[in-house]
Amino acid sequence: MTAPGLWTIGLAIGYTIALVVVGRLLQRRAAASDKGIASFFVGGRSFSKWTVAFCITGLFSGSSFISIMELSYRTGVSAIWYGIAETVQVILIALLLVKPLRERLVVTVTGIIGERFGRLAQGISGTITAFTFPMWSVATAIAFASALHAFTSLSIYAAIAVTAVLLLFFLWAGGMRAVAFTQTMNCVVFLAMLAVGITAFLINPGVDGLAELAQSRPEMVDPTSAGVTLIAAWFGTFVVNVLLAQAAFQMSLSCRTPADGQKGLFIAAGLGLPLIILGVVLGTAAAIVVPNEALPLVATPRYIAEVLPAPLTGVFFLGIWACALGWAGPCQFSGATSLGRDVGRAIRPHATEADLVRYTRWSLVLLTILMIGFAFLRTEQAAWWNVLAWTLRNGATLAPVLAAFFWPLATRKAAIPAMVAGFVSGLLWYHWGAWSPTEFFLGIHPVWVGMATNVVVMIALTLVSTRWTWTSDAAARRRGTGFAIATVAAAAVTIPAAPWLHGLGLSGLAYFAVLAVASTTVFFWTVPASKPDAGAPSGSNLKSEAQVSAN
């Protein structure tokens, strides 16, 4: 084992043990409080705006840093769009969702679906969500495992297994309070990583090296070199994911007040910008110093170790481990919450909170095994796992969540087939595209296919399986008419421009945009025939968790 390897492993293990010890103390204190064991999931809803900010920064910025570093090794500065798209998502969550969701006291997206469409829908959505969360976890876990592989005699697969078990050891202490403390400490480590990374860049290759790269490989400074199709998919996926960002909901909704949660998200958007920029700089620098490496996340540790002494290399990769904990930890915890809490409640409606915590801990073990399996399937494209997970999860849950908030007409008979159809269609579209991260079947990204199928099936089955009528509410009719006109206008522009849009890789986004506007028209115009006219969509049919528990 090399000296950088000893420093990396020693710092990571020591840091993790410290987090586990403090996490257990925090969770025991929470369990002994008047909030009891329920605080395991939402931290007693006592977080300040800064706690929320650190939680969200650790969650999204750590993940973006890893993905951008990998992407920029291959495509240069165009990888920055990934981080910008994720920042837009954080801002939209703050503007649109924190206050209404906090008032309803929700914990998970699958819980929302279950409250609206019943236990079977909750079980299916919880299972699909749990299946996809290890895909997000593996993306950052591969980064730290790559450092272990580069610095030790461990194979990349053994390093992934060690990383996954270390992550499980941390998570078993569990609880949202422990996650909050960890994210705060992760942000401190991020600062140290930023300082070390900037130092490495200034030593080699420096600004002059980037200038030379722009001359020898101009595609590395092309802002569209990642591909317009993929960049559009990033933005579209992150914007849609605003409604479905479950791990972010759990963190921001643990705040004391909705205003605190909102302010915390805005602060997090600002705190993440240096990590986005440094990810681009270091990934591009690694491409200069260690070119032609098959695994970009292995090239980076070799670059850092070549430029810096072992102790500083260890500090940098402690930051990578903090990124893994910051993203993979909450993802595994949130996925286990969906599987243990939501699926467990769907199977056993009268399970106690203690039972649900136990099921969640068992689920952590299962998701750890699943994460290792995913890593073994593909280690060379860590960022690809993020996009695949969004495709499958969003393709299954977008329409049911939209209906839960905005369309009282929707039925559970439509929700369940829609979830299955969206999930399967996204999976098949990837299969027909040979699972490529950049080339897609018929030139359309699977994320648009999965979400479009999900929405179309939901609306079509609802309209043919239930009694409905046109709304008599004047305001709803006006809004629906406005969206109908927008639908016709969008279609009139999109259809003639289809070949041009397809050539740019934007046809999938354009078609989905037309479908989204048309669906909104249906939401405003249609209401249940057997009930008093509900008027415009309001989401008032969604019960709070407190109401459901009381029932």
Instruction: Please give the full DSSP string across 228-240, using - where no structure is assigned.
Output: HHHHHHHHHHHHH
Q: Is 58 exposed, middle or buried (0-12, 13-18, 19+ CB in 10 A)?
A: buried
In this prediction, residue 534 carries a pLDDT of: 44
Confidence check: pLDDT of 56 > 60:
yes
In this prediction, residue 284 carries a pLDDT of: 94
CA dist 327 and 230 (Å) reads: 22
How do residues 28-50 score in pLDDT, each as one tens digit?
Answer: 665 565 554 445 544 455 678 88
Most confident listed range (48-52, 92-96, 524-528): 524-528
How do residues 494-517 score in pLDDT, each as one tens digit?
Answer: 999 988 888 888 888 899 999 999
CA dist 362 and 355 (Å) reads: 11
Q: Poorest-confidence range of 241-245, 316-320, 372-376, 497-501?
A: 241-245
User: Letter for the amino acid at 118?
Assistant: G
Number of Cβ atoms within 10 Å of the Cβ of 437:
19
Q: Poorest-confidence range of 60-64, 169-173, 322-326, 363-367?
A: 169-173
Does the CA dihedral 237-45-171-128 come out positive or negative? Answer: negative
Q: Poorest-confidence range of 174-183, 213-222, 437-446?
A: 174-183
Q: How many residues are given for the chain?
A: 551
CA dist 109 and 128 (Å) reads: 12
User: Letter for the amino acid at 219?
Assistant: E
CA dist 29 and 23 (Å) reads: 10
Question: What are the φ/ψ torsions at residue 250 (nearest 5 degrees)?
Answer: -60, -40
Contact 423, 132 (CB under 8 A): no
pLDDT band per the 50, 70, 90 thresholds, residue 256: confident
- Arithmetic mean of pLDDT, 487-498: 93
CA dist 361 and 341 (Å) reads: 10
Most confident listed range (322-336, 468-482, 526-540): 468-482
DSSP state at residue 158: H
- Arithmetic mean of pLDDT, 86-98: 87
Does the CA dihedral 446-449-451-457 come out positive or negative? Answer: negative
In this prediction, residue 536 carries a pLDDT of: 46
- Arithmetic mean of pLDDT, 48-60: 86
CA dist 275 and 247 (Å) reads: 20
CA dist 192 and 206 (Å) reads: 19
CA dist 47 and 53 (Å) reads: 10
In this prediction, residue 13 carries a pLDDT of: 86
pLDDT band per the 50, 70, 90 thresholds, residue 26: low
How do residues 140-156 score in pLDDT, each as one tens digit?
Answer: 788 888 888 888 777 88
CA dist 303 and 21 (Å) reads: 33
In our burial notation (b when 16+ CB lie closer than 10 A, e otherwise), range 381-409 reads bbbbbbbbbbbbbbbbbbbbbbbbbbbbb
Residue among 322, 277, 368, 317 at smallest CA distance from 57 = 322
Q: Which residue has the tokens 């009694």?
A: 467
Q: Give percent helix, percent strand, percent coil of the chain, each to the nearest 5.
A: 80, 0, 15
Q: Poorest-confidence range of 105-119, 121-135, 157-171, 293-307?
A: 105-119
Q: Is 174 exposed, middle or buried (0-12, 13-18, 19+ CB in 10 A)?
A: buried
Contact 302, 290 (CB under 8 A): yes
pLDDT band per the 50, 70, 90 thresholds, residue 356: confident
- Cα end-to-end distance, the chain, whole Å: 59
User: Letter for the amino acid at 427?
Assistant: L
Q: Which residue has the tokens 């954080």?
A: 90
Most confident listed range (128-137, 165-174, 241-250, 533-542): 128-137
Residue among 7, 551, 32, 52 at smallest CA distance from 269 = 52
For residue 326, what are its two tokens? 């910051």
Average confidence score pLDDT of the chain: 84
In this prediction, residue 140 carries a pLDDT of: 75
Contact 195, 269 (CB under 8 A): no
CA dist 11 and 15 (Å) reads: 6
Residue 175 backbone class (left: φ over 0; alpha: ψ -120 to 50; beta: rest): left
